[in-house]
């Protein structure tokens, strides 16, 4: 099973490009983040025409997550247990940052972790709370893949120049500790040889290869032992109209999934 995760940075802008990517990489399941569209304006027909079922959560022109699958799409969930909200107008509101579904016997999640904005910003605390709650929601015994834009570079080697990030988010000790807690909860980071998955549009970061690795597939043990290979499709960051993120793809040998593995 080919599973990909991609922060598409506006799905309506890139729907045809995403569909072409699905065909080119022979993707079975795609987790998308930052779709930036409400549910009734999601371009579902583009995916359906390509042979995919699709589920989407979008409440506004911001955030938004989706899963497209050609191997089944069952038990769709629009949040995880005790997912926190962000306080707007004095009342926390759950944002469109998580969607889960069972695809071909595998529990797949598409997650868009809050950016954090700046150290000391309320959004930074929200980011940590989101990660703590996600940790508590992890089902380590099930065959599951927690895909997404985590907005964290777990190590110094995951950014082009750690000194540039001094005093900035994505690399702070509390963020990295929260990421480590997910691993301690029973998840494993799917690794690959590609150093980065995100290059900012500003300052010609992509052309200079000044990137960050912030997009991940974190897997439970039943899926971790079935990883055949993984890679970043850097070509999708090239050209006119590209997202600032590239897809992270993993190939899993799910032929040996047993009834004991599947919930």
Nearest residue to 33 (alpha-carbon basis) of 126, 142, 120, 148: 148
Residue 218 belongs to some domain of the structure: yes
Nearest residue to 113 (alpha-carbon basis) of 85, 149, 147: 149
pTM of the predicted model as reported, rounded to 2 decimal places: 0.96
Q: Which residues are annotated as a binding site for Mg(2+)?
A: 7, 34, 149, 151, 244-245
Task: Give every strand in the sheet of 29-33, ordered side by side.
Answer: 53-57, 65-69, 29-33, 2-7, 248-252, 227-232
Q: Give the pLDDT of residue 89.
A: 75
Residue 262 belongs to some domain of the structure: no
- Cα 210 to Cα 161: distance, rounded to the nearest angstrom: 8
- Cα 73 to Cα 55: distance, rounded to the nearest angstrom: 8
- Cα 97 to Cα 31: distance, rounded to the nearest angstrom: 12
pLDDT average, residue stretch 61-74:
97
pLDDT average, residue stretch 4-11:
98
Residue 26 belongs to some domain of the structure: yes
Contacts of 58 (CB under 8 A, 6+ apart): 35, 36, 37, 38, 39, 42, 64, 65, 66, 96
Contacts of 237 (CB under 8 A, 6+ apart): 199, 206, 243, 244, 245, 246
Q: Which residues are annotated as a binding site?
A: 7, 34, 149, 151, 244-245
pLDDT in tens, 85-126: 998 777 889 999 999 999 999 999 999 999 999 999 999 999
Residue 61 belongs to some domain of the structure: yes
Q: How far is CA 241 from the centre of its chain?
A: 20
Residue 71 belongs to some domain of the structure: yes
Q: Give the pLDDT of residue 263.
A: 44
Q: Give the pLDDT of residue 258.
A: 58
Give yes or no for residue 259 having a pLDDT over 60.
no
Q: Give the pLDDT of residue 261.
A: 58
Residues with catalytic function? 112, 149, 245
Q: Give the pLDDT of residue 45.
A: 98
Range of the structural domain that residue 84 is part of: 2-252
Q: Which residues pair with 146 in a beta bridge?
A: 109, 218
Mean pLDDT estimate for the chain: 96
Q: Give the pLDDT of residue 90.
A: 75
pLDDT average, residue stretch 23-41:
98
Give yes or no for residue 262 having a pLDDT over 60.
no
- Cα 112 to Cα 136: distance, rounded to the nearest angstrom: 17
Give yes or no for residue 3 having a pLDDT over 90.
yes
Nearest residue to 254 (alpha-carbon basis) of 81, 76, 44, 71: 71
Give the CATH number for residue 68: 3.60.10.10
Structural domains of the chain, count? 1
Q: What percent of the chain has pLDDT over 90?
A: 94
- Cα 104 to Cα 95: distance, rounded to the nearest angstrom: 27
Residue 263 belongs to some domain of the structure: no
Burial of 40 (0-12, 13-18, 19+ CB in 10 A): exposed
pLDDT in tens, 162-218: 999 999 999 999 999 999 999 999 999 999 999 999 999 999 999 999 999 999 999
Burial of 184 (0-12, 13-18, 19+ CB in 10 A): exposed
Residue 261 belongs to some domain of the structure: no
- Other C-beta atoms closer than 10 Å to the C-beta of 239 total 8
Pick the range with the lowest mean pLDDT from 129-143, 170-184, 191-205, 246-260: 246-260
Residue 129 belongs to some domain of the structure: yes
């Amino acid at each position: 099973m080919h599973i990909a995760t991609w922060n598409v940075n506006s799905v309506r802008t890139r729907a045809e490009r995403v569909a072409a990517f699905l065909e080119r990489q022979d993707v079975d399941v795609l987790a998308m983040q930052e779709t930036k569209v409400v549910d009734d304006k999601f371009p579902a027909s583009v995916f359906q025409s390509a042979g995919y079922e699709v589920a989407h959560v979008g409440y506004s022109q911001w955030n938004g997550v989706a899963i497209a699958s050609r191997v089944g799409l069952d038990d769709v969930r629009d949040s995880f247990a005790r997912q926190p909200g962000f306080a707007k107008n004095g009342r926390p509101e759950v944002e469109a940052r998580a969607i889960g579904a069972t695809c071909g016997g595998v529990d797949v999640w598409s997650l868009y972790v809050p950016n954090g904005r700046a150290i000391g910003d309320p959004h930074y605390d929200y980011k940590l709370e989101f990660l703590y709650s996600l940790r508590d929601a992890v089902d380590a015994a099930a065959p599951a893949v927690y895909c997404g834009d985590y907005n964290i570079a777990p190590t110094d080697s995951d950014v082009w120049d750690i000194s540039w990030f001094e005093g900035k988010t994505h690399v702070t000790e509390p963020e990295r500790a929260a990421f480590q807690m997910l691993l301690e909860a029973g998840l494993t980071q799917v690794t690959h040889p590609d150093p980065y998955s995100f290059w900012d549009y500003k300052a010609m970061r992509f052309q200079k290869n000044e990137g960050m690795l912030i997009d991940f597939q974190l897997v439970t043990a039943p899926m971790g032992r079935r990883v055949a290979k993984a890679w970043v499709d850097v070509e999708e960051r090239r050209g006119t109209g590209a997202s600032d993120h590239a897809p992270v793809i993993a190939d899993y040998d799910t032929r040996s999934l047993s009834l004991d593995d599947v919930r």
